[in-house]
Structure 1
């Protein structure tokens, strides 16, 4: 390979790597709260039902007032949609025999709703354990346990007034 061919090959490889790196850093395509609400409330309900049927003795209850809401975050610079969080007095990870079993149970539900498969536990301080997943719209579902369990889901949205 001549020096000019080698140089062109190296330049092409560098440009290809830069394109891949840039594409993977693209911001998610946010939804409006009107579009996010039915999508994410349905997912939260299906996850809660799946986990309750499979593992829990203590049913899920809404934490707070039980309403989903849009709130201003980052000093009012953006809006985030929060699905009403649910909690159970049971520790789902303990009842399931560990997070691996929970992941295996809920990954099909997550995939059906466009969320990534969960393959490992999150690193959480304070003795909590948990798992989380995101979708292409930047939404994050999280299940956390420490004697009891909480299921939460949030997504930044395109709304300007919140």
Structure 2
């Protein structure tokens, strides 16, 4: 066996357990992302109201739009893992008015990432697409997610709450 082949074999044998350990560690770390202790209902509502206000205020630096709120609710009433959706805000237009023009997310990232960071969220991630819908997403504490679509929808959802029973009434809604 050549020296180069032996070196590759040894590296493969030694590297395989390291790779497995690294993957196991990454899996454990990623499993904890976005989690955290559930919030008491009044704290969840107050905390994510502030997040929403700050995000909506920051959008005006990119483009002045009117936002209409809907969908403030417990996502699955009666669930053991109680999740709250702070709301879905729909703008009066797409983030970029001409479809097919291309989407430049940079102004939105520049406006919203500092606000997200201030509230314990990650930066807006890479663009995602499902059919004609494109969006950016950020993860926060307590399982929270913020999603901004090119179609002008801002969603704050999946917030873990300690509500018994897991119903809208526990949130005072």
User: TM-score, normalization: structure 2?
Assistant: 0.69
How well do the aligned residues superpose, as a CA RMSD in angstroms?
Answer: 3.0
Aligned equivalent of 2:48: 40
Quote the offset at 1:44 in angstroms.
1.0
Aligned equivalent of 1:133: 138
Cα distance between partner residues in 2 of 1:31 and 1:78: 9
SS in 1 for 2:123: coil
User: TM-score, normalization: structure 1?
Assistant: 0.73
Aligned equivalent of 2:160: 156
Residue of 32, 52, 70 corresponding to 1:26? 32
Quote the offset at 1:14 in angstroms.
6.9
SS in 2 for 1:152: strand
Question: Which segment drifts farther, 127-136 or 84-93?
Answer: 84-93
Cα distance between partner residues in 2 of 1:63 and 1:160: 23
Do structure 1's residue 110 and structure 2's residue 116 form an aligned pair?
A: yes
Aligned equivalent of 1:4: none
Q: Which runs of 5+ in 2 are unaligned?
A: 1-13, 167-173
Aligned equivalent of 1:121: 127
Judge conservation of contact 2:61–2:111 (CA < 8 Å) in 1: no
Between the two proteins, the alignment pairs up a number of residues equal to 147
Q: Which runs of 5+ in 1 are unaligned?
A: 1-8
With over 3 angstroms needed to count, the CA separation of the structure-2 counterparts of 1:30 and 1:42, relative to structure 1, is same
Quote the offset at 1:70 in angstroms.
2.5
With over 3 angstroms needed to count, the CA separation of the structure-2 counterparts of 1:26 and 1:78, relative to structure 1, is same
